[in-house]
Structure 1
Amino acid sequence: MINLDAIRAARILLVDDSADNINLLSEILAVRGYTHVSSIGDSSQVCKLHAQNDYDLILLDMHMPRMNGLDVMAQLKEVEKHAFLPVLAITGDERYKVAALEAGARDFIIKPYNLAELDLRMRNAIELRLLYKTMAAQSRLLEEKALHDSLTGLPNRRLLSDRIEIAMQYARRHQQMVALLYMDLDGFKQVNDHYGHACGDDLLKEIAERLRSVARQEDTVARIGGDEFIMVLSEISRVEDIVRPATKILSLLEVPLDIGGKSVKVTGSIGISFYPTDAEDAQTLLLRADEALYCAKHAGKNRYQFAGFPAFGDARTHSASNISFQ
C-alpha cells in the first residue's frame, strides 16, 4: 500500500481555462495537504508539461477552448512514460463520463463536485498511479538482475549473446570486424584456497573494474561465470587494433590488488577470435576464443592467443603486423 504522505506529495497538475476554478481548487488541495500542485489554463501545453514533469495526477477539465479534454488525452498517450494515463476528468456534462473513460481517464468527477468525493477519487487515482510506477520499477529491476552478474554488475551470458549479435550486425553493415577476448585468471583457485571465497569475490569485483577501465563506450565487458570474463570490441578495422587493449589488460591484471589488507596478485590469459574471419555466429565465435584461451594457458599463461594460430610464447610482445584477415 501507498502511505498517505506519499499521496499528499504527489505531483498534481490542474488544467482549467477558468482562473477562478483554478484558484478555488488550489486552495482546496492546499487545505487537504497536497504539497506539489501546479496549474495551467492553456490545454495545448499539458502534453509538454507532462513530458517534463511526469505528473502523478492531472485534474483535467473536459470543456476548454482550443483543445478539449479528449484531444489532450489523445496527445498525452504519446508522451506517457508508464503506459498509464494519470487523468481525473472533470466535467459538468454526464455524457462526457463514458467518453472520458474510453479516452483513457482513470476516473471522472461531475461538477459541481462534493469535496469529500473529490478527495477520495483523487486519493484512489494517485494511489493506483504510484502503485503502478512501483511495480514498473520493480519489474525493470528484476529484468536488470536477470541480465547482469549479481557479483560484479557486468552483463551475464544472456545479455552478452545479444551484445555480440548487435556488434556483428553493425560490423556487417560497415564492413568491419568484431573481436572477442575470452579471459580467465591464472591462479584464482589458489586465491580462494588460501584466502577464502570472500577474498576471491572481492578480487573478481576489482578485476571487473579494471576491465571496465580498459573498455570503450561501444565495447562490452561481461562475466560468464567463475573467473571467466568476455570483452567484445566492436568497430575493429585491423588485427593490430586488438594488440594494444589485450596487452594493457594483461599489464593491469599483473598489478597486485589490496584485498582486505592482503596483497593479492594474479595474472590473466586471453583467447581472441574475430568476426567474420573465425566465425559468423556468436556461439562459434565464443568457441573459437575459448579454444585460443586453452592454447594461451597451455603455452605458459599470462599471455594472449589468436584463434587459428599456433601459440607463440609471450604473446604480449608479439607483432600482429604479419597477420592478414582479408
Structure 2
Amino acid sequence: MPSRQDILNAKILIVDDSPDNIDLMEEILREEGYACVSSTMEPEQVCPLHREHNYDLILLDLQMPGLNGFQVMKGLKEIEQGGYLPVLALTAQPSFKIAALEAGARDFISKPFDLLEVHKRIHNMLEVRLLYKELAQYSKAQQELALHDALTGLPNRRLLEDRIETALQHAARSHAKAAVMYLDLDGFKAINDTYGHAYGDEILKMVSQRLLASSRREDTVARLGGDEFMVVLGEVHSLSDALGPAAKLVEVLNEPFFINDLTLRLSTSIGISLYPDDAESVDALISIADYALYEAKRSGKNRFCTTGTARQKTTSKLPLPSSQAELAPHR
C-alpha cells in the first residue's frame, strides 16, 4: 500500500485556462504537502508532457478554448494503452460529471472548490493510482522471472525460442543468415560431485558472465537448464561468421575458474546450426544444433561441430584437460 510520503511525492499536473484557478489549486496542494506539482494553461501540451513525465494525477479542466478536456482525455487514452487514466476532471457543469467519467476520467471535483472534497478526492485517487503502478511493476517483475533463469538471470528456453524466431525474421528480411550455438559444459558433473552444488552454481554464474562478455550486444545468450547454454547470432552472412565466435567461446571457457581457494577447470562442446541452410524453423535449428553438439562430444569434447544437410565440419581449438575437470588449489 502506498505510504503518505509516496502520495505527497506523486507527480501532479494542473490543467486549466484560468490562472486564478491554477494559483488556487497550487496553493491547496502546497499547503497539504504535495511536493511535485506543475501546471499548464495550454491543453495541447498535456499529452506531450504526460509522455515525458508520466504524471500520477492530472487535474483537468473540461471547459477550455482550443482543445477541451474531453479531447485531451482522448489523447491520453492512446498514451496509457489500456492502463489507468490518471485524470481528475474539474467542472462547474453538473451535466459534465457523468460525461467525464464516461470519457475516461476516474473522478471529478466540482467548481467552486470545496476544500475538504478536493483533499479527499485527490488523496483517494493518488492512492489508487500508485497502487495500480505497484501492481503493474509486480506483474512485470513476475513476467521477467517467468522468462529468465533464476540462477544466472539469462533468458530461459521460453524467451530463447522467441528470440530465435525474431532473429530468423530479421535474417529473412535482410537476406542474411542466423546461427544457433548449443553449448554443454565438459566436466561439470565432476565439480558438482566433488565440491557440491554451491560450487557448481558459482561455475554456472561465471560461465554465463563469460558468455555475455564474449558475445555481441545484439546476440542472445540463454541457459536451457543444467549445464546447457545457447547463443544465437543474428545477421551473419556465412557459416564462417559463426566459427570464429564458437572458437572464442571454447577458448574463454577453457580458462580456469577461481572460487575461494580453488582453481577449477572444465571445457565446453558446441554444436552449431545455420539458418536457412540447415533448417528454417526454431525447433529444427535447435535439434540440428543438438545433434552437432553430440558429434562434438563424441569427437573428443572441447570443440565445436557444425552439421548440415550437405556438410559436416569439426574444429578443436584447445587440448582437453586430461581429467575433463582439473581441480587444484589456487595459489
Give the TM-score taking structure 1 as reference length: 0.93
Does the 8 Å CA contact 2:257/2:265 hold for their aligned counterparts?
yes
Q: Which amino acid aligns with 1:247?
A: A
For residues 86 and 109 of structure 2, the distance between their equivalents in structure 1, rounded to whole angstroms, comes to 14
Which residue in 2 is equivalent to 1:269?
A: 269
Unaligned runs of 5+ in 2: 319-331
1:191-230 aligned at under 5 Å gives the runs: 191-230=191-230
Q: Which amino acid aligns with 2:316?
A: A
Answer yes or no: is 1:113 the counterpart of 2:108.
no
For residues 179 and 52 of structure 2, the distance between their equivalents in structure 1, rounded to whole angstroms, comes to 41
For residues 48 and 175 of structure 1, the distance between their equivalents in structure 2, rounded to whole angstroms, comes to 38
Does the 8 Å CA contact 2:62/2:90 hold for their aligned counterparts?
yes
1:43-192 aligned at under 5 Å gives the runs: 43-80=43-80, 83-192=83-192
Does the 8 Å CA contact 1:269/1:301 hold for their aligned counterparts?
yes
Q: Which amino acid aligns with 1:315?
A: S
Unaligned runs of 5+ in 1: 318-326
| Identical residues among aligned pairs (%) | 52
Q: Secondary structure at the match of 2:143?
A: helix
> What is the root-mean-square deviation of aligned Cα atoms in Å?
1.5
Which residue in 2 is equivalent to 1:2?
A: 2
Q: Secondary structure at the match of 1:290?
A: helix
Which residue in 2 is equivalent to 1:320?
A: none
For residues 49 and 311 of structure 1, the distance between their equivalents in structure 2, rounded to whole angstroms, comes to 58
Q: How many residues align?
A: 316
Does the 8 Å CA contact 1:182/1:272 hold for their aligned counterparts?
yes
Closer, same or farther in 2 for the Cα pair 1:196/1:310, shift >3 Å?
same
1:10-32 deviation digits (Å, cap 9, x = unpaired): 11111112111111211111111
For residues 78 and 108 of structure 1, the distance between their equivalents in structure 2, rounded to whole angstroms, comes to 21
Q: Secondary structure at the match of 1:199?
A: helix
For residues 116 and 129 of structure 1, the distance between their equivalents in structure 2, rounded to whole angstroms, comes to 20
Give the TM-score taking structure 2 as reference length: 0.92
Does the 8 Å CA contact 2:171/2:178 hold for their aligned counterparts?
yes
1:10-29 aligned at under 5 Å gives the runs: 10-29=10-29
Does the 8 Å CA contact 2:16/2:40 hold for their aligned counterparts?
yes
For residues 178 and 36 of structure 1, the distance between their equivalents in structure 2, rounded to whole angstroms, comes to 49
1:260-286 deviation digits (Å, cap 9, x = unpaired): 332111111001111222222111211
**Where does structure 1 differ by over 6 angstroms across 4 or more consecutive aligned residues?**
none
Q: Secondary structure at the match of 1:90?
A: strand
